Amino acid sequence: AQSVTQPDIHITVSEGASLELRCNYSYGATPYLFWYVQSPGQGLQLLLKYFSGDTLVQGIKGFEAEFKRSQSSFNLRKPSVHWSDAAEYFCAVGAGRTGANNLFFGTGTRLTVIP
């Protein structure tokens, strides 16, 4: 069965600093990987996704993520954080083309941005 681990519960960075949020997954085949962002009291918004091909994927709001099969990781990065990036970030793994009913979410990483 697949699973997702986000080892950092809470990260604090200064505005303008770089950011990396970690995500490790467990899945036997090539996974479908996602990063979602959730502002307080809101629903989730898809930041980016990886299905196949280029292992470095670009998303919205200046985020990118790199799929590393050897490390079973899909870390999210941003070169310069803005105060509006403060939110909770969820990594998710999908078990192939079987629908979102087989989508597993990590427990999230809360990002605080210091002015």
Partner 1 sequence: DGGITQSPKYLFRKEGQNVTLSCEQNLNHDAMYWYRQDPGQGLRLIYYSQIVNDFQKGDIAEGYSVSREKKESFPLTVTSAQKNPTAFYLCASSRDPAAPGELFFGEGSRLTVL
Distance set, CA 105 to CA 53, 68, 71 (Å): 22, 18, 18
CB of 2 to partner 1, least distance (A): 11
Phi then psi for residue 46, to 5 deg, are -70, 125
Given the complex with partner 1, which of 18 and 55 has the nearer CB atom? 55
Given the complex with partner 1, which of 51 and 86 has the nearer CB atom? 51
Given the complex with partner 1, which of 45 and 84 has the nearer CB atom? 45
The token duo for 12 is 């604090």
Residues contributing to the site for partner 1 (CB under 8 A):
4, 9, 32, 34, 36, 41-46, 49, 51, 90, 92, 94-101, 103-108
Contacts of 108 (CB under 8 A, 6+ apart): 6, 9, 38, 88, 89, 90
CB of 65 to partner 1, least distance (A): 14
CB of 79 to partner 1, least distance (A): 25
The whole-angstrom distance between residue 83's C-alpha and the CA centroid of its chain comes to 18
